Amino acid sequence: MTVPVITIDGPGGSGKGTIAMRLAEDLGWHFLDSGALYRLVAVAAIDRDIDAADEDALANVAASLDVSFGLSGDGMVILLDGNYITGRLRSVEVSNMAARSAAFPAVRAALTERQRAFRKAPGLVADGRDMGTVIFPDAVLKIFLTASAEARAERRYKQLKEKGDSVNLSRIFHDIKKRDERDTSRAIAPLKPAAYDHVIDSTEMSINEVIGAIHKLLDEL
């Protein structure tokens, strides 16, 4: 029997990571934050002083990543080369490097099979930008989760401030708009809501309301 997968794709700051993690906990399924893989490539590349424009070097980093995910009472735990790395993943430097590396076909190809290997019984909830279109096209439920750029910038600003980072809201908004443009116009797996069966706009919704809407969709399968 094929292991079921639920995919939640969408732009940065839409809440897909939080929603996917909560849903995985509710269902007792495995969880994959695919965006974290690209951020892990970024962390490793930054630590190794690799240029953001060096596609081959970034692809080599992606192919050799030693990463594991886990869930704890405080949220997601990520280990890179056996070291706790979660706290570094949401910095602006890492976000920008991840966005640039994700646009390279060689990097995406290197991570494709790595992502599919997370599909294990009893099921998987995967979030990202091409989970339902490229990585798991046979997912039982494909959701596109979005929100206005303004709402997403506010969420990211609060998230980074809570971590003690020095951030600027207008800069974050500008970065999100640039990221949206890259994601929707890239040649490989562009981010398009029309490719999904269900689109949820979380701009005016709480986390619990989004989770409830997804559970309702699952009940209708």
Measured distance CA(179)–CA(101) in Å, rounded: 12
The pTM of the full predicted model, rounded to 2 decimals, is 0.81
- Give per-residue pLDDT as tens, 55-98: 999 999 998 888 887 767 667 788 888 888 888 887 888 988 99
DSSP string, the chain: -PPPEEEEE--TTSSHHHHHHHHHHHHT-EEEEHHHHHHHHHHHHHHTT--TT-HHHHHHHHHT--EEEEEETTEEEEEETTEE-GGGTTSHHHHHHHHHHHT-HHHHHHHHHHHHTT--TT-EEEEESSIIIII-TT-SEEEEEE--HHHHHHHHHHHHHHTT----HHHHHHHHHHHHHHHHH-SSS---GGGSSEEEE-TT--HHHHHHHHHHHHHT-
- Give per-residue pLDDT as tens, 157-196: 998 888 788 889 999 999 999 888 888 887 777 787 767 7
Q: Which domains does the chain have, with CATH numbers?
A: 5-219 (3.40.50.300)
